[in-house]
Amino acid sequence: MPKTFDVAVIGAGPGGYVAAIRAAQLGLKTVCIDAWKNPAGKPSLGGTCLNVGCIPSKALLESSENYERALHKFADHGIGLKGVSIDVPKMQARKTKIVNTFTTGIALLFKKNRVESLHGFGRFAGAAPDGGWQVEVTGDGPSETIVARNVIVATGSVPRQLPGVAIDNALVCDNVGALSFDSVPRRLGIIGAGVIGVEMGSVWKRLGAEVTILEAMPTFLAAADEQIAKEAFRAFTGPLGLIIHTGAKVLSVTTGEKSVLVEYEEREGTRHRDEFDRLVVAIGRTPNTAGLNAESVGVKLDGRGYVEVDAQCRTSMPGIYAIGDAVRGPMLAHKSSEEGVAVAETIAGHHGHVNLDTIPWVVYTAPEIAWVGKTEQELKAAGVAYRAGQFPFIASGRARALGETAGFVKMLADAETDRILGVHIIGPFASELISEAVVALEFSATAEDIARIVHAHPSLSEAMHEAALGVHKRSLHI
């Protein structure tokens, strides 16, 4: 007899493991199936986010930022340092330790919440004779088929491939290789000036590489507010020193013994050949739904491989749900987790819901970038009348004390109702500051509401307060 469950979750990334924990908390008998193995060949929970995404990239960003501070910023504080150096293997070991703490932590959380954890690749094996769905799990040993009344597909995403370019994660890398260099490349090429491109570019540039980013689109960080993207472009190509070619068409990538030759054409038709010690391809991600056998049980995928779902993450088949990077919406860990919670609650008979309009975005560069809600260009395109308030960090006492004065907070509010429609930040700790704006949007706050709330002094949050005052042209400090 196969083991039976109320819920089987396929995938233990931030979508799947959170869904499994929440389902178990709600009293549902739950199994979580995951195929990931770490470089040591051991099963490792946490998916892309913990193993080769959010967590390791933030660890390296922090290390490289500290290195840069020590080299270039401490002197301003009167701190003199001699012989500053970077030990890349040690920095990587710190990153790996952080990753392992969290991946093993999920195994403990599963134990605590009585989630059964199965290592192996899950695929649909048809409807079960007595209701529910059969899922075959193929791991290191003989395969096993389990039966679940509900299945949550949380299989995440994989890097989009550039046709004709083979990833070896030695010379030509995706995110996996880009996070694991054992030394600082002299010349690093990156294809794609998206979030991974600018975050990984920042890490290796700060550590001493010459970094060239080739971006196909004429613009840069297309999802961000245009004014923020322009400010970011100035900061990344100015003080940070990234070389960014927008409107660049990659013509060929040739891997040699120790270097990679990239041929590309710029907008005006000029051809270039650049040789790099390493190349990172970061041109987006695609849903990881191949081999799942989803269509054989009637689950519809769209033309790009995303599982088709409604607002509650229900697929075309009863009892089968899909969440996270495998479905529509932004590919962000917190979006995956929130969908996981919502689906577990729906299965348990509650009213799970995720508001895709209030998902915050963060780019962990220096300055950081964060936003929630509509951009100015979106409001213009939709013909919405709005008012904007803006406050620069250079006028913030706390930002001055930190020595991080680049950037600003911009608030967009409906011209008639004053309801906040979007908040865009470029500057220090934007990742933390954005939470106030998310709460404001969730509670349909007006700019006036934020303007009337007391913000601590001196704090970076005063910039949010002043931007709200600015919506009504009554900022106090500019």
Q: Which residues are near ligand NAD by CB under 6 A?
A: 162, 191-197, 199, 214-217, 250, 282-285, 330-332, 362-364
* Residue 277 CB, nearest approach to ligand FAD (Å): 20
Selection from ligand FAD, ligand NAD, none that 215 binds (CB < 5 to 8 A by kind) is: ligand NAD
Does residue 325 touch ligand FAD according to CB under 6 A?
Answer: yes
Q: Which long-range contacts (CB under 8 A, 24 or more apart) does 89-97 make?
A: 89/182, 91/60, 91/63, 91/64, 92/180, 92/181, 92/182, 94/59, 94/63, 95/56, 95/59, 95/60, 95/63, 95/179, 96/56
Q: What is the DSSP letter of 70?
A: I
Give the alpha-carbon dihedral of 434, 438, 443, 446, to 10 degrees: 50
Please name which of 295, 24, 293 lies closest in space to residue 143, comparing C-alpha atoms.
293
Based on CB atoms, which residue is closest to ligand NAD, 239 or 330? 330
Based on CB atoms, which residue is closest to ligand FAD, 122 or 389? 122
Based on CB atoms, which residue is closest to ligand NAD, 64 or 134? 64
Binder of ligand FAD out of 235, 292, 372, 463 (CB under 6 A): 292
* Residue 423 CB, nearest approach to ligand NAD (Å): 17
Based on CB atoms, which residue is closest to ligand NAD, 283 or 460? 283
Concatenating the DSSP letter of every residue in 191-218 gives: E--SHHHHHHHHHHHHTT-EEEEE-SSS
Binding mask 443-462 for ligand FAD (x = CB under 6 A): --------------------
Binder of ligand FAD out of 8, 11, 64, 345 (CB under 6 A): 11
Does residue 280 touch ligand FAD according to CB under 6 A?
Answer: no
Residue nearest ligand NAD by beta-carbon distance: 194
Q: Which long-range contacts (CB under 8 A, 24 or more apart) does 195-199 make?
A: 195/221, 195/363, 196/57, 196/280, 196/282, 197/280, 197/282, 198/232, 198/236, 198/242, 198/363, 198/365, 199/57, 199/61, 199/363, 199/364, 199/365
* Residue 407 CB, nearest approach to ligand NAD (Å): 16
Selection from ligand FAD, ligand NAD, none that 117 binds (CB < 5 to 8 A by kind) is: none
- In degrees, rounded to 5, the angle at the alpha carbon of residue 111 between the alpha carbons of residues 105 and 114 is 140
Q: Note the residue count of the chain.
A: 478
Does residue 194 touch ligand FAD according to CB under 6 A?
Answer: no
Residues in the interface with ligand FAD (CB under 6 A) total 36
| Distance from C-alpha of 141 to C-alpha of 154, rounded to nearest angstrom | 23
Find the binding residues for ligand FAD in span 100-159 (CB under 6 A).
Answer: 121-123, 154-157
| Distance from C-alpha of 388 to C-alpha of 415, rounded to nearest angstrom | 9
Which position among 72, 350, 353, 457 bears the catalytic label?
457
Find the binding residues for ligand FAD in span 224-253 (CB under 6 A).
Answer: none
Name the strand (E) or helix (H) holding 81: none
Based on CB atoms, which residue is closest to ligand FAD, 331 or 445? 331
Selection from ligand FAD, ligand NAD, none that 338 binds (CB < 5 to 8 A by kind) is: none
Does residue 36 touch ligand FAD according to CB under 6 A?
Answer: yes
Binder of ligand FAD out of 8, 115, 213, 331 (CB under 6 A): 331
Does residue 30 touch ligand FAD according to CB under 6 A?
Answer: no
* Residue 257 CB, nearest approach to ligand FAD (Å): 27
Q: Distances from the Cα of 219 to the Cαs of 125, 240, 241, 410, in angstroms?
A: 45, 19, 18, 20
The answer to whether 8 and 135 are in contact (CB under 8 A) is: yes
| Distance from C-alpha of 423 to C-alpha of 388, rounded to nearest angstrom | 10
Selection from ligand FAD, ligand NAD, none that 288 binds (CB < 5 to 8 A by kind) is: ligand FAD
Which of 52-60, 79-87, 392-400, 447-455 is the region at the interface with ligand FAD (rule: CB under 6 A)? 52-60
Selection from ligand FAD, ligand NAD, none that 408 binds (CB < 5 to 8 A by kind) is: none
Binder of ligand FAD out of 8, 20, 32, 54 (CB under 6 A): 54
Binder of ligand FAD out of 30, 48, 64, 92 (CB under 6 A): 48
Selection from ligand NAD, ligand FAD, none that 191 binds (CB < 5 to 8 A by kind) is: ligand NAD
Concatenating the DSSP letter of every residue in 439-461 gives: HHHHTT-BHHHHHTS---SS-TH
Using left for φ > 0, alpha for ψ between -120 and 50, and beta otherwise, residue 208 falls in left
Task: State yes or no: is 457 an active-site residue.
Answer: yes
Strand runs labelled E in 154-296? 157-159, 172-173, 187-191, 210-214, 243-245, 249-255, 260-265, 271-276, 278-281, 285-287
* Residue 354 CB, nearest approach to ligand FAD (Å): 13
Find the binding residues for ligand FAD in span 355-414 (CB under 6 A).
Answer: 364
Say if residue 241 is exposed, middle or buried (CB neighbours under 10 Å; 0-12, 13-18, 19+): exposed
φ, ψ for residue 285, nearest 5 deg: -130, 155
Residues tagged active-site: 457
Interacting residue ranges for ligand FAD, rule: CB under 6 A: 10-16, 33-36, 47-49, 53-54, 57, 121-123, 154-157, 175, 196, 288, 292, 324-325, 331-334, 336, 364
